[in-house]
Amino acid sequence: MQAHEIAEKIRNAGVVGSGGAGFPTYVKFSSKADIFLVNGAECEPMLKVDQQLMAKYPELLIRGIELGMTATGATEGVICLKEKYKEAIAALTPLLNDHIRIHILKDVYPAGDEVITIWMATGRRVPPGAIPISIGVVVNNPLTLINVARAVDEGMPVITRTLTISGAVHKPLTVTVPIGTSMAQVLAMAGGPTIANPAYLNGGPMMGKLFDDINAPVTKTTGGLLVFPADHILIKRRTISLEHVIKVAKATCDQCSLCTDLCPRHFIGHELPPHLIVRSVIYDDTNKPSTLLSALTCSECAICEAYACPVDISPMRLNVAIKEKLRAESARYEGELYPADPMAEHRLIPSTQLVGRIAVRPYVLDAPLIEDGWEPDSVTLPLSQHIGTPAKPIVSVGDRVRSGQLIATVSPDDLGVPLHASINGHVTAVTAHAISIST
Ligand code: SF4
Ligand code: SF4
């Protein structure tokens, strides 16, 4: 099969990066690379999606890698995962060949940050502000590649999502559900909250986003629904105002620079110095413009906020606010790549220490994978579950649709992917943002 045929099938099936950003996968498959890397680190504590999917669908994962290597011209496939994912390693090992190998990552955070994964597995470093393809590497996560294999070999569109429901719930589990299923329904599958004052994170405890609409739909990029008490430190940090963050920084930052010492982007050679950004903000110091501009290269891994700072300041929150302003001004960061810190490898955070520091140890639980074909009565499918142009509906209220049927498209000239019905039923609403279907 030709590279463009593979990319076209992936696009038609609506495959996007399942790891969080939702970047259309056909674009990556249209690039040229020499290393095709699978990021199976899943370093967010509590999430159990990729490690179980790799164990359950090793053939599909290998097939997805082979297709990726064909499309990109890569001569080396590298599956990065942790030693503790023993079932996945056992399932994948017999399928390896001269061109595809496993790389065992240390059980550290943020091993799943693709820039850090590439550095750990290949020694290559992505320059600040650049993307992996600039150093000849294409990165995808396991679920994305499983979707690729299904799309190319079976013509199967992306209509389900696997996510972990964990934390303060009665029965932590990992489920595969039709896209558009409400978070409330998946929460009910896990027995509901065990606490009276639940708060919810979409994603992992370090990088997950706080949300309060429990009827929001599961999308192609939803990796986890985590439940915590509303007064948990992870929730409180996400709810305090930026003004409060700045006030605390002004009152307590002693410029110890621990946030910079432990910043993964900084220690692999990027400029990004969180302690200097904090100093610039609290003293209104813009002497060195590149300091503030380097906030654009912050990965929002939350190490500076949740682990490094001894006085509970959040340099990351400042970075997020600075990024928003700089992006509105179309600013770009163009700094150089400095030598990596000789101690870099030792500055990664052991997962066991991280879960203690962020107070989630009681919530790091098994969450077994259940895929029993459960179907909701209704789904709501957002038109924008990917980076790029939102999909445009081609169905109307009252239309009957089948699971897998194309319901919204994106012009071939635009970045984006089409959308498919995830259940059989009839269309009950078409808005500027979503299509709803009921059985
Ligand atoms: S770790 Fe905290 S106190 Fe130290 S420089 Fe960074 S923000 Fe300031
Ligand atoms: S969140 Fe903090 S530690 Fe992580 S990349 Fe950004 S500045 Fe560095």
Ligand 2 test: best mutation among 265, 270, 318, most atoms within 8 Å of CB? Answer: 265
Which of 300, 323, 341, 347 most suits a substitution to test ligand 2, by most atoms within 8 Å of the C-beta? 300
Residue nearest atom 4 in ligand 1 by C-alpha distance? 256
Asked whether residue 195 carries a pLDDT value surpassing 80, the answer given is yes
Q: Tokens standing for 404?
A: 């897998």
Instruction: Calculate the average pLDDT of the chain.
Output: 96
Burial of 81 (0-12, 13-18, 19+ CB in 10 A): buried
pLDDT in tens, 262-277: 999 999 999 999 999 9
Res 372 pLDDT > 90: no
Three-class SS of residue 98?
coil
Distance CA 348, CA 38 (A): 20
Q: What is the pTM of this model?
A: 0.95
User: Regarding predicted confidence, which is higher, 100 or 373?
Assistant: 100
Q: How far away, in angstroms, is 331 Cα from ligand 1 center?
A: 26
| Helix (H) or strand (E) run with residue 140 in it | strand 137-140
Q: Is the CB of 257 under 6 A from ligand 1?
A: yes
CB 256 less than 6 A from any atom of ligand 1: yes
Q: Reply yes or no on whether the pLDDT at 10 is more than 90.
A: yes
Q: How remote is the CA of residue 249 from the centroid of ligand 1, in Å?
A: 8
Confidence of residue 373 (pLDDT cuts 50, 70, 90): confident
Instruction: Mark 345-358 as b/e (b = at least 16 C-beta within 10 Å).
Output: eebbbebeebbeeb
Q: Give the pLDDT confidence of 133-158 residue by residue, as tens digits.
A: 999 999 999 999 999 999 999 999 99
Distance of CA 35 to the CA centre of its chain: 21
The response to whether residue 147 sits with its C-beta less than 6 Å from ligand 2 reads: no
pLDDT of 244 reads 96
Cα(347) to centroid of ligand 2, in Å?
Answer: 13
47 Cα: distance to centroid of ligand 1 (angstroms): 29
Residue 374 has pLDDT above 90, yes or no: no
Count how many Cα atoms sit within 13 Å of the Cα of residue 248 in the half-sphere of its side chain. Answer: 17
- Give whole-number Cα distances, 409 to 119, 167, 397, in Å: 37, 37, 17
pLDDT of residue 159: 97
Predicted confidence at residue 89, as pLDDT, reads 98
- The ligand minimizing its distance to the Cα of 259 is 1
Specify the pLDDT at position 1. 84
pLDDT given at position 19 = 82
The candidate with the shortest Cα–Cα distance to 379, out of 422, 432, 431, 433, is 422
Share of the chain above pLDDT 90, in %: 95
Tell the residue nearest (CA) to atom 8 of ligand 2: 263
pLDDT attached to residue 284:
80
Please give the domain boundaries of the chain with CATH numbers for all domains: 3-154 (3.40.50.11540), 159-228+359-375 (3.10.20.600), 238-344 (no CATH), 377-439 (2.40.50.100)
Task: Give the model confidence (pLDDT) of 215-259 as tens digits.
Answer: 999 999 998 999 999 999 999 999 999 999 999 999 999 999 999
- What one-letter code names the amino acid at 106? K
Residue minimizing CA distance to atom 6 of ligand 2: 298
Mean pLDDT of 305-313: 96
Contact assessment for residue 125 and residue 268, using Cβ atoms and an 8 Å cutoff: yes
Which burial class, exposed, middle or buried, applies to 370 when counting CB atoms under 10 A from its CB (0-12, 13-18, 19+)? middle
Closest ligand 1 atom number to CA of residue 308: 1
Q: Is the pLDDT of residue 286 over 80?
A: no
The stretch 160-168 carries a mean pLDDT of 97
Q: Is the CB of 265 under 6 A from ligand 2?
A: yes
Q: Is the CB of 407 under 6 A from ligand 1?
A: no
Q: Kindly give the distance from the C-alpha atom of residue 316 to the centroid of ligand 2, in angstroms, as a whole number.
A: 6
Q: Which amino acid residue places its CA nearest to atom 4 of ligand 2?
A: 301
Q: Quick check: helix, strand or coil at residue 101?
A: strand
The model's pLDDT over 381-401, given as tens digits with 9 standing for 90+, comes to 999 998 999 999 999 999 999
Tell me, what's the pLDDT at 18?
92
Mean pLDDT of 11-21: 91
With cut-offs at 50, 70 and 90, classify the pLDDT of residue 285.
confident
105 CA → ligand 1 middle, Å: 29
**What is the tens place of the pLDDT at every residue in 56-81?**
999 999 999 999 999 999 999 999 99
Is the pLDDT at 301 greater than 90, yes or no?
yes
Among 146, 109, 18, smallest CA distance to 364 is for 109
Is the per-residue pLDDT at 184 higher than 90? yes
**What does the pLDDT average to over 368-378?**
90
pLDDT value of position 217: 97
C-alpha of residue 59 to centroid of ligand 2, in Å: 36
At 288, the pLDDT band (50, 70, 90 cuts) reads confident
